[in-house]
């Protein structure tokens, strides 16, 4: 795994909250990045991946779960931090033809946006770790 690039992975073992957040999801993905020494191990410190726009709905054992539902989608995101990696997990269920249409467009850019947001937050936290105030 590369230290500066997110890699597509399966949900990590610690992703228990997101596994139960959506009944029969239509879409799931996960991207992981290697943690650098000194980076936070608290998943709440990583919510900037989603621009802190969504409150934490649940937190347990190194995982923070956020409800990111929009446009009729039942959508959840999870940040899982273990000893080596931070992983952003997504799970989506469409509930109507409008949400299927919306997701049909959004899912094409979702992987690029998820990885870009992870890189941005990883860099920000790496800089904060190197230059404590």
Q: What is the 3-state secondary structure (H, E, C) of 88-117?
A: EEEEEEECCHHHHHHHHHHHHHHHHHHHHH
Query: What letter does residue 25 receive in the DSSP assignment?
Result: -
Res 52: pLDDT: 72
Write phi, then psi, for 59 (nearest 5 degrees).
-145, 135
User: Are 30 and 89 in contact, with CB atoms under 8 Å apart?
Assistant: yes
Res 120: pLDDT: 93
Res 130: pLDDT: 74
Res 50: pLDDT: 85
Residues 64, 43: Cα–Cα separation, whole Å: 6
Q: Along the 133 residues of the chain, how does pLDDT read in single tens digits?
A: 666 899 999 999 999 999 999 999 999 999 999 999 999 999 999 988 887 788 899 999 999 999 998 888 899 999 999 999 999 999 999 999 999 999 999 999 999 999 999 999 999 998 887 755 4
Burial 19-56 (b: 16+ CB within 10 A, else e): eebbeebbbbbbbbbbbeeebeeebebbbebbeeebee
pTM comes to 0.91
Residues 24, 105: Cα–Cα separation, whole Å: 20
């Amino acid at each position: 795994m590369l230290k500066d690039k997110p890699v597509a992975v399966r949900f990590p073992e610690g992703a228990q909250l997101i596994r139960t957040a959506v009944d029969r999801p239509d879409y799931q993905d996960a991207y992981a990045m290697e943690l650098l020494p000194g980076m936070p191990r608290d998943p709440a410190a990583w919510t900037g991946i989603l621009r802190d726009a969504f409150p934490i709905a649940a937190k347990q054992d190194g995982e923070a779960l956020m409800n990111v539902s929009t446009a009729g989608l039942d959508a959840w995101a999870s940040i899982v931090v273990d000893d080596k990696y931070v992983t952003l997990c997504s799970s989506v269920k469409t509930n109507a033809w409008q949400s299927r249409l919306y997701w049909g467009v959004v899912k094409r850019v979702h992987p690029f946006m998820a990885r870009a947001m992870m890189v941005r937050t990883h860099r920000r936290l790496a800089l904060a770790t190197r230059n404590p105030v």
